[in-house]
Amino acid sequence: MTAEIGQILLIFAGLAALFQGVFPFLGASLRDAALMRAARRAAVAQFALVLGAFCALAYAHATSDFSVRNVFENSHTAKPFIYKLTGVWGNHEGSMLLWSLILAAFGAAAALFGRQSALAARALGVQGLIAVAFVAFIVFTSNPFLRLFPQPADGQDLNPLLQDPGLAVHPPFLYLGYVGFSMTFAFAVAGLISGRIDEAWARETRPWAIAAWVFLTIGIALGSWWAYYELGWGGFWAWDPVENASFMPWLAGTALIHSIRALEVRGAFRAWTALLAILSFSLSLIGTFLVRSGVLTSVHAFATDPARGLFILFILGGFIGGALALFAVRGPNLRSSTGFEPVSREGGLLANNMIMVAACATVFIGTFYPLFIDVATGERLSVGAPYFNAVFPPFMAAALAILSPAASLAWKKGSVKDAMRRLAPAAATAAAIATLAAWFAWPKSVAAALGIGLAVWAGAGAISDLAVRVRLFERYAGARLANLPRSYVAMIIGHVGFAIVAIGVIGAGALKSETIVYAREGDTVSVGGFDARLLSVTEARGPNYESEISAFEVSRGGKLLSTLHAERRFYPVRGMQTTEAAIASDLTGDLYLTIGDYNVERGWVVRAWRHPLTIWMWIGAGLIALGGTIGVIGERRRAPVRRAGAAEAISA
Amino acid sequence: MKRLVFLIPVLAFAVMAIWFAQGLDRDPRYIPSMLINQPAPEFNLQPIDGRDEAFTSRDLKGEVSMVNIFGSWCASCEIEHPVLMSIAREGVAPIYGLDWKDRPGAGAQWLMARGDPYAKIGDDAEGRVAIDFGVTGAPETFVVDKEGRVRHKHVGPISEDDWRNVLKPMIEDLKSAPPSY
Amino acid sequence: MRRLLISVLSTVSWAALAVQPDERLADPALEARAREISREIRCVVCQSENIDDSNAPLARDLRLLVRERLAAGDSNEAVLDYLVARYGDYVLLKPRLKMNTIMLWVAPLFVAAAAAAGALLALRGAKNRNLPAPALTEEERDALKRLD
């Protein structure tokens, strides 16, 4: 009964979405406030209905109702309860329903808490139309509420790799990001229809853009983090097509949040910002196409079903093609009337945009090249991590190089001399650390040292700018610090976070060391200055797996540090084995241990890695998210501090 | 002029959409064989348990034949097996077997339980010969002509349809073709 | 018993951890080359892993093959050629520069150049446009105030 209820709720949600999609356009054209109000109500109703459908599916999973095909294919009585719940979105149909739920939630949020302008109304309408398309996709090609008859006794079990906290939350955050970009897309289309992409448009759209981008950042970071600790060799990014599918919208989104800032402050980049807003969501949609249509193989691929792929292609064609056609017609009318000097904040933001978009295009070409060649000539070739690792870093190096100078320039006309004065300490720090890094990394990777130098230049530059701005070493610096505009604080934190992520990526990616040996109880494995002595290996049993747990005593330079446990699990229903690595982290890096097969003559296979600076990746990602969040919460002019001598107003 | 620039995104997208649409037809996991129309790789394999004739690349010269990659661990080979038995009974062309990555005796045992359609069987426990054939999974079957050149690769189990509509006609053509030098 | 079960099952399941200690060559320079090459070779039965990371049995066979060829004196290129002869260009994760991959390798440069050109054009346009911003009309100023 639950599944049928869910089915009906979903269909009604589609109807509500249709109202939400059509009413605002009618209402805005006819200036009928009642229609626009009805649209907002439809948005809230749609959310309630999709939520109901989602809860119905969740209930079926929670109660292991195997008469529902989705539950049978993706669950099992032995699965721990929490993973039964997260398993709702660990499959194609369920994840599409989650997509729809988040889409509806954003629409409802905009309806309830957003401004009640014609722009917002039209944007809500576009959201509604997108929702109709996705609900239709679910109902017609990916229905999670289909029944099985007769009801099987037990399920087919979820992939044990997916029974994991990190992986459980990774998709929701990603979808929050993708759907967030649907909002900016909706605003862009609405703006193009009304012919106004201006400062006011930017003010309304910017929070959505940053929110989407923050969610996507967290989603990507979670995915990387999960891959790092779960897959067993400390890899965190493989340039797999579906990883790229989430990275491309992120790159475009980074360009968007910077461009929209210039639009908001100075009215610059009108057409370009609209285009970026369309592109960010388009890349999200194309990413969806990748995962579910089977045109590319990937470790992630959900469903390789060309029928679904065709449906999604029509959705892509409709929305992306439609929006870009609208852009072709309305774009030329968007004239930025203000100008700026090349050396200025706008110029710096333009440079950022160009780098991010070029990087995005490069990843796009690499990801889809095998497909293009196959269609063009029938030849099969692969474009993998070695290619991307060769062509991508230069773009990031360029981004790191210009980051702090660009952020230190004034609007409209900046002074290089002024910027350099602020950044001099940063330059010195960066040079020093780069030299130090080169000395440590020699001869493994001088490029890594250069990269670290650039990252330090970027991060220290941000802090240096901050220090100069609040005149850190003069009196009442604390007050000036507290009175900084939020947008500035957000920027500094975000930039420092980005620099820190870069340092982490370089350390963990380019500077690692590895040891693979056989070991018996009592043997010691050494890597990167650490020693791990295998104490014991014992057998254990989990809810749906059997395991071998090893205990290692870790020391460094003779000094005992800790005991780590690395595990190997076997899941009988799927016949799969997973490794649970033992990881000891500190700011200098990670010690990463895994235990493998047992050889009767030689002992266990033990693999140990030293991954320098890994934790900086996660800290940096967190800082980026924090910076973005501060940026969304909004700007409030602080009242000048009522203190003699410190009453200078801080200008934004 | 400026208006034309604004057309670029939508046109680029249109081109890409067409490419994607065509891509839906392709199966990205299917790798075309490098061996088509090439001489079969040179090899010399010991027989598996219970057989005494070695299986070498020389066996492939002189008549049209098939080389079937199988293993006792391979579930799809189980599905294909009855079809191979009936093909062997028809006697159109010999089927040679390559026992891929099997533990000693496992292949022989598997065949003893199900029947043996093979003229000769080579023991490729190390998998090196399979790599020379560009094998990526079992079962796979190669059609080899009289000169010992690979003419066709069939990936996955052979069904009755595959035999009747594709492989058998191909083999008969190859048998009646005059030798080329 | 359970340990035996796990070991036996793991030899037939796709779960043995990638490079095993007994695969490695004694010569560290050769072994380093083997690892380097392995990272560029696609595991043809996996989704998109390289043979260095993959758990698949065929990946292990290919890893051993790479080391065998290196030990026999092949250059890195020759080892890759050997595999391409059997599996096609598909097996290379880093595409070689050929007629059909020129576009791929040139693309990043082209994209960077196009981006730079676009930026320069935009900057020139902006510099010429350094007009004072048109004042907001009374209506627009009110609308803006309402938004606050």
pLDDT on residue A635: 57
Chains with ≥3 Cβ pairs under 8 A against C? A, B
**A424-459 confidence digits (pLDDT tens):** 888 888 888 888 888 877 766 788 888 999 999 999
- Is A423 contained in some domain? yes
10 Å CB burial of residue A501 (0-12, 13-18, 19+) is: buried
**For residue B3, is it within any domain?**
no
Least Cα distance to B94 among B55, B134, B49 occurs for B55
Q: Kindly determine whether residue B137 and residue C45, on different chains, have CB atoms separated by under 8 Å.
A: yes
Q: Can you give A179-226 as a three-state secondary structure string?
A: HHHHHHHHHHHHHHHHCCCCHHHHHHHHHHHHHHHHHHHHHHHHHHHH
In a domain, A48, yes or no: yes
Measured CA distances, A574 to A156, A239, A301, B103 (Å): 8, 27, 18, 23
Which of A603, A490, A594 is CA-nearest to residue A550?
A594
* Per-residue confidence (pLDDT) for residue B181, from 0 to 100: 55
Within-domain flag for A399? no
Residue A476's pLDDT band (cuts 50, 70, 90): confident
A372 shares a domain with A266 = yes
Residues A187 and A335 in one domain: yes
Share of chain B above pLDDT 70, in %: 95
> Low-confidence residues of chain C, pLDDT below 50?
1-16
Number of neighbours of residue B125 by Cβ within 10 angstroms: 17
Per-residue pLDDT at A206 exceeds 50: yes
CB contact under 8 A, B136 and C57: no
Q: C-alpha angle A581/A587/A591, rounded to 5°?
A: 25
Q: Is the Cβ pair B34, C45 closer than 8 Å?
A: no
Is there a single domain that holds both residue A38 and residue A147?
yes
**% of chain A exceeding 90 in pLDDT:** 54
Token pair listed for A432: 């020093």
Q: Report if residue A501 sits inside a domain.
A: yes
Residue A644 scores a pLDDT above 60 = no
Coil, strand or helix at A234: coil
Three-class SS of residue A340?
A: coil
Residue A309 has pLDDT above 80, yes or no: no
Count of CA atoms in the C-beta half-sphere (13 A) of A533: 10
Residue B137 near chain C (CB below 8 Å): yes
Instruction: Using a pLDDT cut of 90, give the percent of chain B over it.
Output: 75
Walk across the sheet containing A589-599 and list its strands: A513-519, A603-612, A589-599, A582-586
With respect to residue B144, please indicate whether it lies within any of the assigned structural domains.
yes
The tally of domains found in chain A comes to 4
Residue B149 belongs to what domain range? 33-176
Of the given ranges (A84-93, A487-496, C104-113), which has the lowest mean pLDDT? A84-93
Q: Among A316, A210, A326, A339, which residue's Cα sits nearest to residue A274?
A: A326
User: Chain B: nearest CA to C107, how far in angstroms?
Assistant: 15
Same-domain status, A524 and A474: no
pLDDT digits (tens, 9 = 90+) for A526-555: 998 899 999 999 999 987 789 999 999 999
State whether A377 and A451 are in the same domain: no
Pairing outcome for strands A524-527 and A513-519:
unpaired
Residue B27 lies in a domain: no
Residue B47 lies in a domain: yes
- pLDDT for the residue numbered A157: 65
Sequence-distant (6+) residues with CB within 8 A of A166 are A222, A225, A226, A229, A230
Contact yes or no for A516 and C118 at CB 8 A: no
Query: Does residue A435 share a domain with residue A367?
Result: no
Is residue A641 assigned to a domain? no
* ipTM for this prediction: 0.87
Annotate A150-189 with DSSP letters as a single string.
SPPSS-----GGG-SHHHHHHHHHHHHHHHHHHHHHHHHH
Q: Examine the domain organization and report whether A386 and A486 are in the same domain.
A: no
Q: Looking at residue B113, what is its pLDDT?
A: 92
Task: Tell me: do A302 and A168 sit in the same domain.
Answer: yes
In a shared domain, residues A505 and A519: no
Summarised one tens digit per residue, pLDDT across range A119-147 is 999 999 999 999 999 999 999 988 999 99
Looking at the fold, whether A186 and A219 belong to one and the same domain comes out as yes
Please, which residues have CB within 8 angstroms of residue A518's CB and are 6 or more apart in sequence?
A599, A602, A603, A604, A605, A606, C21, C22
User: Does residue B147 belong to the interface with chain C, where contact is any CB pair within 8 Å?
Assistant: no
State the pLDDT at residue C134: 65
DSSP assigned state of A509: H
Given a cut of 80, is residue B109 above it in pLDDT? Answer: yes
Asked whether residue A48 falls in the same domain as residue A174, the answer is no
Burial class (CB in 10 A: 0-12, 13-18, 19+), A558: exposed
Identify which has the larger pLDDT, A496 or A303. A496
The total number of structural domains in chain B stands at 1
Residue range A390-419, pLDDT digits in tens: 999 999 999 999 999 999 998 888 888 888
Within a domain: A644 = no
pLDDT number for residue A468: 87
Residue A472 and residue A188: Cα distance in Å, rounded?
A: 41
Q: State both tokens at C107.
A: 């693309």
User: Is it true that the peptide bond before A370 is cis, omega within 30 degrees of 0?
Assistant: no
- CB contact residues (below 8 A), chain C span 100-139, against chain B: none
Touching A (3+ Cβ pairs <8 A), the chains are B, C
**CA B15 from centre of chain:** 36
Please count the CA atoms within 13 angstroms of the CA of A513 that sit on its side-chain side.
Answer: 12
**A245 domain-assigned:** yes
Band (pLDDT 50/70/90 cuts) for residue A294 is low
Q: Exposed, middle or buried, B85 (CB in 10 Å: 0-12/13-18/19+)?
A: middle
Mean pLDDT of all residues belonging to chain B: 90
- Give the domain range for residue A446: 413-511+617-633
Predicted confidence (pLDDT) at residue A174 exceeds the cutoff of 90: yes
What is the mean predicted confidence (pLDDT) over A615-633? 95
CATH number at residue B171: 3.40.30.10
- In Å, what is the CA distance from B42 to each residue of B5, B61, B128, C62? 58, 11, 11, 18
pLDDT (average), residues A58-77: 90
- pLDDT (average), residues B122-134: 93
Name residue A564's amino acid. L
Task: For residues A142 and A211, state if they share a domain.
Answer: no
The residues pairing with A537 across neighbouring beta strands, listed in sequence order, are A550
Chain segment A572-591, per-residue pLDDT in tens: 877 788 888 999 998 989 99
Report C:33-62 residues touching A (Cβ under 8 A).
39-40, 42, 46-50, 53
Q: What is the pLDDT of residues B20-72, one digit of tens each?
A: 888 777 766 667 888 999 999 999 999 998 888 999 999 999 999 999 999 99
Is the residue at B156 inside a domain? yes
pLDDT at A557: 84
